[in-house]
Amino acid sequence: MQLHAGVALPPDVVREALNVVPELVASRAPAPPEPPAQGLLSRLLGRRPAEVPVEVHAPVVSLPPAPPPVFIRMAKFGNVTADDAAALASAYEAAAATWSVPVLRVSRIRVTEEAPYDVMVELEGDVGALKDIYRNVYEVAQEQRFFLDRRGFRSEVSLGPVADVEDPASIAGAEVAHLGRLWSPSHLTLLRLSYNAGANFSEYASIELGDAAQEMGARTLA
């Protein structure tokens, strides 16, 4: 099986971020045209300029009825046997309870500069603790003889490409500040990737994290 590891964003945090997408799109909407300048004769005669109706088409963005599962990617293990996957899950269950749990929130939402113009959410808060989880995931994998391609950690995640926008390139690079609610991840999820009717992830194992979030939240994001 193809196995990945990720930390899930709560569905209501994803929904809250998706609700900001229309504002993000509207930030790049063209301004309505200015009315034509009044001629000299009309100004001398005191004529009021004729009102020209202006049609402003607000961008329409449809949102999914339920937010899709969104994960902060931690690791990609590649092809794993059933026995190795079970051993890996057991190793994470033994280690993850000692990890510090971050308190996070969405701080900014933006569109990538290039196709497929993904909507990205940037996270703030205990980003250092989130990075520690990323590091711990790799350390446990190495102990289980998985030698992974360690890419740079990024405290942001994609919600997927912009949908139902006539010209997605017109909003490339658009961004808005958005301070979302505080949240903490409760689990590290091991995900099985299958290719039935496209690439799909399903949960292989849910690894409970520690319970330090209650103690950390108030002071880190006050």
92-150 pLDDT, tens digit each: 999 999 999 999 999 999 999 999 889 999 999 999 999 999 999 999 999 999 988 77
Res 43: pLDDT: 58
Closest CA to 155 of 118, 119, 104, 113: 104
Peptide bond into 69 cis (omega under 30): no
Res 222: pLDDT: 44
Share of the chain above pLDDT 70, in %: 75
13-17, 62-66, 180-184, 202-206: lowest mean pLDDT where?
62-66
Stretch 180-205: mean pLDDT, rounded?
87
The sheet that has 71-79: what strands, in order across it? Answer: 71-79, 2-8, 187-194, 200-208
**Is the separation of the CB atoms in 93 and 85 below 8 Å?**
no
pLDDT at 50 over 90: no
Instruction: Count Cα neighbours of 43 within 13 Å in the Cβ-side half-sphere.
Output: 4
Query: Is the model more confident about 113 or about 24?
Result: 113
- The residue with tokens 């959410």 is 121
Stretch 47-53: mean pLDDT, rounded?
56
Q: What is the pTM of this model?
A: 0.77
Res 220: pLDDT: 43
Query: Is the model more confident about 50 or about 83?
Result: 83
